[in-house]
Amino acid sequence: MITRLSQLFVRTLREDPADAEVPSHRWLVRAGYIRRTAPGIYTWLPLGLRVLQQVERIVREEMDAMGAQEVRFPALLPREPYEATHRWTEYGPNLFRLKDRKGGDYLLGPTHEEMFTLLVKDLYSSYKDLPLSLYQIQTKYRDEARPRAGLLRGREFVMKDSYSFDVDDEGLAASYEAHRRAYVRIFERLGLTYVIVKATSGAMGGSASEEFLAVSPTGEDTFVRSPGGYAANVEAVRIAPPPAQDAEGIGPARTVDTPDTGTIVELVDVANQKFPRPDRAWTAADTLKNVVFRLVQPDGRSELLVVGLPGDRDVDMKRLEAAVSPAEAAPVTDEDFADNPGLVKGYIGPVSLATGEAVQYLGAEGPLKVRYLTDPRVVDGTAWITGANVVDTHMVDVVAGRDFTSDGVLDVAEIREGDPAPDGSGPLSLARGIEMGHIFQLGRKYADALGLKVLDANGKLVTVTMGSYGVGVSRAVAAVAEATCDERGLAWPRALAPFDVQVLATGKGDEIAAAAEQLAHDLDARGVRVLLDDRKASPGVKFADAEIMGMPVSVVVGRGLADGLVEVRDRATGERAEVPVAGAVDAVLAAVRG
Ligand code: ATP
Ligand code: MG
């Protein structure tokens, strides 16, 4: 069947949408693939829907090929299963919660671990039924704080989620590997340049997990790589702590006057003037910076958290968020400082924090100790210049383990280009990526919480171990658009393009229209998916629209026809070739198949 542009429900736009931050968003809207309905919520138009369906097809074929079976859950779900795993609360404001007419609590599913676990519990009871992998391609809902970049971060989006069920750890490892291989094939077929990185498991819980990131400067994730093959999302990097040091030669900690040194730069300057080191100059790395956050639990309880780290590094907010999840780290306010006179802005230090002297405690359920956590580099025996909890005053030769101890380690300092890989495999380089897929070995967390057990070979009840695996299907549409578009519009790889070829009849005259029509028919007869631009519009409009819409190949039937020629254009490379009308079908077939 030929699709005619004169009939197709589409309007291309000459202007960028006002809210477009990234090229894929701009072009998907301008080319008439999607329309915004509400923040982070989009309507799929015919062209966009065809691309979405292509992604779904690839994902479905690979999931089926690995032996997973497709099911489909509702998006509207009851509260109870999510209550049993605490996620009704832990998902926090990201969860769309609603009530039915009887006052019953419901939610719009953000991910379906609970439901799959209960379904298998409902139907299966023996080890003989396992292993099992189930999947669905379905709409998910998350009330994202920052819906962004069109389809890349929606509040409603399409995900493929699958879940594996095994009796033992070896089984889980095998199911995880099978998914990993299927994901490699999916992302190869989507034509994405991607990396597989170590990941944190976030709200999902569980242990081993990896992400598939499409390498892209517009990605929200930062990942690191080393020459020796280490690869991780920065959120998952756990630095290798240096060995503890011997502090025997270091004199007692002493208090020094350091007027106007509320910043690290000012402090280092004053230190070098007022109490220089004999061997070398003080640097920011000699200072212990203490940053305060308010840690808010999903149930609303909150406490102050002080993070101590070398002064030459900042806290990486995404690493912090990942480390404290499901709690959230909010910035402290002037009020917090006013309520806690012991925390002196710009002069916070661990000595009195550790003894609790100078700090006034806060907390909904009565007094709480201010939690003090330190960077892994702050090992026992290291000496620091740090705040004295008094304005214009610092302490020198404050030794970790001798003068203070922290409540634990928090590895959330920024990772920098050139930092050593934790496994000794060389210096790290940083790049950005879009999270396309995430695979987890969940273990028994959900099966435990919801009582999914089967009888093993000895007739004993054992708890099932699970994996959970997601692909961002609608996000993939945007990620591929992002990777392939240029300054003129979209440029689809054939695997995802809504049509293989766009045939443009440019110029007046029945002959041109008839030749274009004939060519479209001949191509269609050979199995090529054809979009025929049969509109009464100028050649300029048709050329521009073909470039914006981004079919891999276009054929221009126009002026050249008088000489028996048509022009075949490759959208991605920009190559153009004039070919005889008689050979046009073969030329197009070669272009779309090759
Ligand atoms: P992110 O870190 O980007 O918020 P996530 O880790 O919360 O994602 P998962 O729960 O692992 O996401 O979901 C599986 C996949 O679903 C992700 O790898 C991603 O491709 C996709 N996805 C998640 N959130 C969104 C969203 N808001 N819009 C579009 N796709 C999403
Ligand atoms: Mg994820």
Condensed to tens digits (0 to 9), the pLDDT of residues 378-434 reads 999 999 999 988 889 999 999 998 888 888 899 999 999 999 999 999 999 999 999
Residue intervals of the chain classified under CATH 3.30.930.10 are 15-75+109-237+430-482
Q: d(Cα 388, Cα 183) in Å, to the nearest integer?
A: 53
Q: Is 387 helix (H, G, I), strand (E, B) or coil?
A: strand
Q: How far is the CA of 199 from the centre of ligand 2 (A)?
A: 8
- Most ligand 1 atoms within 8 A of CB, residue of 438, 468, 473, 477 to mutate: 438
Q: d(Cα 347, Cα 264) in Å, to the nearest integer?
A: 10
Whole-number Cα distances in Å, 69 to 60, 63, 132, 391, 470: 9, 8, 8, 65, 15
Contact between residue 34 and residue 48 where contact means Cβ atoms under 8 Å apart: yes
Q: d(Cα 238, Cα 428) in Å, to the nearest integer?
A: 13
Ligand 1 atom 26: the closest Cα is on which residue? 153
- Most ligand 1 atoms within 8 A of CB, residue of 91, 159, 198, 318 to mutate: 159
**Residue 161: nearest ligand to its CA?**
1
Q: How confident is the model at residue 361 (pLDDT cuts 50, 70, 90)?
A: very low
The number of C-alpha atoms within 13 Å of 409 and in the hemisphere containing its C-beta is 12
Q: How far is the CA of 470 from the centre of ligand 2 (A)?
A: 8
**Residue 142: nearest ligand to its CA?**
1
Q: How far is the CA of 442 from the centre of ligand 2 (A)?
A: 13
Q: Which two tokens stand for residue 268?
A: 């280092």
Closest by alpha carbon to 507, among 579, 547, 566, 553?
A: 566
For the chain, the average pLDDT equals 91
Q: Which two tokens stand for residue 511?
A: 């002959």
Domain 501-593 homologous superfamily, CATH: Anticodon-binding domain (3.40.50.800)
Cβ neighbours, 10 Å, residue 372: 23
Torsion 457-462-463-465 (CA) sign: negative
Ligand 1 atom 14: the closest Cα is on which residue? 470
For residue 342, with 0-12 CB atoms within 10 Å meaning exposed, 13-18 middle and 19 or more buried, which class applies?
A: middle
pLDDT greater than 50 at residue 517: yes
User: Which of 8-12, 18-22, 164-168, 464-468 shows the lowest mean pLDDT across its residues?
Assistant: 18-22
Contact between residue 414 and residue 316 where contact means Cβ atoms under 8 Å apart: yes
Residue intervals of the chain classified under CATH 3.90.960.10 are 254-399
Q: How far is the CA of 72 from the centre of ligand 1 (A)?
A: 19
Residues in contact with 207: Cβ distance below 8 Å, sequence separation at least 6, in sequence order: 201, 441, 443
In this prediction, residue 353 carries a pLDDT of: 56
Mean pLDDT of 263-288: 92
Closest by alpha carbon to 238, among 248, 230, 229, 228?
A: 230
Residue with tokens 């402090």: 267
Cβ neighbours, 10 Å, residue 220: 15
pLDDT greater than 80 at residue 587: yes
Residue intervals of the chain classified under CATH 3.40.50.800 are 501-593
Q: How far is the CA of 69 from the centre of ligand 2 (A)?
A: 22
In this prediction, residue 225 carries a pLDDT of: 97
Q: What is the CATH number of domain 254-399?
A: 3.90.960.10
**Residue 149: nearest ligand to its CA?**
1
pLDDT in tens, 210-261: 999 999 999 999 999 999 999 999 999 999 999 999 989 899 988 888 998 8
In this prediction, residue 19 carries a pLDDT of: 82
Ligand 1 atom 31: the closest Cα is on which residue? 472
Out of 3.30.70.890, 3.30.930.10, 3.20.20.80, 3.40.30.10, select the CATH number for domain 15-75+109-237+430-482: 3.30.930.10
Q: Which residues line ligand 1 (CB under 6 A)?
A: 111, 142, 144, 153-154, 157, 159, 202, 435-438, 470, 472, 474-475
